[in-house]
């Protein structure tokens, strides 16, 4: 270490050293640490946000130079956040995962009016409809900022959705006045997450902005697809063993009935099938005298009944398979439930 660097270190005020040490200790204490933009947030509203975060996250605002020094001092990967410490920022610390933190911060944002000179965060649109304002000079102000406005039915109306400023454009004083008059608040005020470091990974906001329900559905679909593949490929697992056994039992029973294999387990089904076949044959014979007494008088109605019974006999061959399919559906629902529960814990 050079004498010059020693002199610089010795001249650092004690309060700065203490601040850096305290911030570094906080970074080590929490599972997730991030940088949030706080530009344009009034101090009172910032205090309200800090209070709302109490119990789930901690917001620490300090000099950027001290925050950078603390991140570098920790040197456990968190120093990757140093480049995000520019402008008006704060340090956000939590034991929640980055996805949960991002969701919480986005949910806490509130609409706010936009002032002249600010940059539009997104396209500013004056919606179609009745403004509720009486005819007067305001219609000209609307038209001057690009709104499709006319006086109709005794009031000033916007005839179509009008984009009066695209994202990235600077808000003029005239546009700010018009938006305030209409009560349009085109921006959101809140903690703007820039990056989060957790579990050795640096997360950007776009990586955290996911549709939870869509992601949940994707995971459930993947789990169900994997399970179906396992069953169709006869690949036994703890989740598919019962279904595979049920499916095999159903197929074996169907083969046994088709081949008329004598077995106590198949006796009732074989007898039912034989009875249905006998009745179908009897219905096809025109001479009642040629039939045993119990089968005489067979009519068209009897034919229908025997056909129904025959169908039932055939269906009995696949009953076990149907039960196996039902069991597979239930297992699939269980898989989806398990996947949903696991995802719920994440978010």
Q: pLDDT tens, 77-107?
A: 899 999 999 999 999 999 999 999 999 998 8
pLDDT-derived band at 47 (thresholds 50, 70, 90) equals confident
Residue 6 has pLDDT above 70, yes or no: no
Residue 304 has pLDDT above 70, yes or no: no
Q: Report the pLDDT averaged over residues 141-167.
A: 94
pTM value?
0.54
CA distances 144 to 139, 141, 168, 223, 235, Å, are 9, 5, 20, 56, 70
Q: Report the pLDDT averaged over residues 165-173.
A: 94
pLDDT-derived band at 60 (thresholds 50, 70, 90) equals very high
Q: Report the pLDDT averaged over residues 163-186.
A: 94
Long-range contacts of 51-56 (CB under 8 A, 24+ apart): 52/108, 53/92, 53/104, 56/94, 56/96, 56/104
Q: What is the pLDDT of residue 7?
A: 46
The CA distance from 109 to 185, in Å, is 12
* More confident site: 124 or 256: 124
Q: What is the pLDDT of residue 169?
A: 94
Q: What is the dihedral angle through the alpha carbons of 322, 328, 329, 330, rounded to the nearest 10 degrees?
A: 110
- Render pLDDT for 180-216 as a digit per residue (tens, 0 to 9): 999 999 988 889 999 999 999 999 999 998 877 888 8
Q: Report the pLDDT averaged over residues 231-237.
A: 87
* More confident site: 42 or 19: 19
Q: CA triplet 142, 116, 164: central angle to 5 degrees?
A: 35
The CA distance from 168 to 163, in Å, is 13
Q: What is the pLDDT of residue 50?
A: 87
For residue 188, which phi and psi values (nearest 5 degrees)? Answer: -115, 135
Q: Which residues have a Cβ under 8 Å from the Cβ of 170 and sit 6 or more positions away?
A: 117, 118, 119, 120
Q: What is the pLDDT of residue 344?
A: 53
| Buried-state track 107-126, b at ≥16 Cβ within 10 A, e below 16 | eeeeebebeeeeebeeebeb
Q: What is the pLDDT of residue 331?
A: 56
- Render pLDDT for 255-275 as a digit per residue (tens, 0 to 9): 888 888 888 888 888 888 888
Q: What is the pLDDT of residue 301?
A: 42
The CA distance from 238 to 220, in Å, is 18
Q: Report the pLDDT averaged over residues 221-231.
A: 90
Q: What is the pLDDT of residue 5?
A: 47
Q: What is the mean pLDDT of the chain?
A: 82
329: number of Cβ within 10 Å: 12
Q: Report the pLDDT averaged over residues 228-245.
A: 87
* More confident site: 73 or 212: 73
By 3-state DSSP, what share of the chain in percent is helix, strand and coil, each rounded to 5?
A: 55, 15, 30
Residue 148 has pLDDT above 90, yes or no: yes
Q: Report the pLDDT averaged over residues 301-329.
A: 52
The two counts, helices (H) then strands (E), for the chain are 13, 12
Residue 281 has pLDDT above 50, yes or no: yes
The CA distance from 226 to 253, in Å, is 27
What's 204's DSSP letter? P
The side-by-side arrangement of strands in the sheet containing 57-60 is 57-60, 89-94, 32-37, 192-198, 201-203
225: number of Cβ within 10 Å: 12
């Amino acid at each position: 270490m050079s004498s010059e660097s020693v002199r610089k270190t010795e001249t650092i005020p004690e309060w700065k050293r203490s601040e850096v040490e305290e911030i570094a200790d906080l970074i080590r204490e929490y599972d997730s640490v991030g940088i949030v933009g706080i530009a344009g947030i009034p101090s009172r509203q910032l205090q309200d946000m800090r209070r709302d975060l109490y119990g789930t996250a901690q917001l620490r605002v300090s000099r950027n130079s001290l925050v950078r020094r603390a991140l570098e001092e920790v040197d456990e990967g968190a120093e990757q956040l140093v480049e995000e410490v520019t402008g008006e920022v704060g340090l956000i610390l939590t034991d929640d995962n980055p996805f949960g933190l991002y969701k919480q911060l986005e949910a806490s944002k509130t609409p706010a009016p936009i002032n002249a000179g600010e940059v539009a965060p997104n396209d500013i649109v004056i919606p179609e409809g009745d403004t509720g304002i009486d005819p007067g000079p305001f219609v000209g102000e609307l038209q001057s900022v690009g709104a499709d406005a006319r006086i109709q039915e005794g009031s000033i109306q916007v005839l179509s959705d009008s984009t009066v400023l695209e994202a990235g454009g600077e808000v003029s004083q005239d546009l700010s006045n018009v938006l305030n008059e209409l009560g349009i608040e085109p921006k959101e005020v809140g903690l703007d997450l820039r990056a989060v470091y957790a579990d050795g990974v640096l997360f950007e906001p776009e990586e955290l902005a996911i549709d939870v329900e869509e992601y949940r559905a994707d995971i459930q679909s993947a789990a169900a697809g994997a399970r179906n593949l396992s069953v169709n490929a006869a690949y036994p697992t703890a989740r598919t063993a019962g279904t595979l056994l049920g499916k095999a039992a159903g197929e074996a029973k169907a083969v046994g009935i088709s081949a008329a294999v004598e077995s106590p387990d198949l006796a009732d089904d074989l007898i039912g099938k034989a009875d249905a076949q006998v009745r179908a044959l009897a219905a096809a014979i025109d001479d009642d005298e040629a039939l045993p007494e119990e089968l005489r008088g067979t009519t068209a109605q009897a034919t229908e009944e025997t056909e129904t019974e025959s169908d039932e006999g055939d269906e009995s061959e696949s009953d076990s398979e149907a039960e196996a399919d039902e069991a597979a559906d239930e297992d699939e629902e269980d898989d989806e439930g398990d996947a949903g529960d696991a995802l719920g814990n994440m978010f």
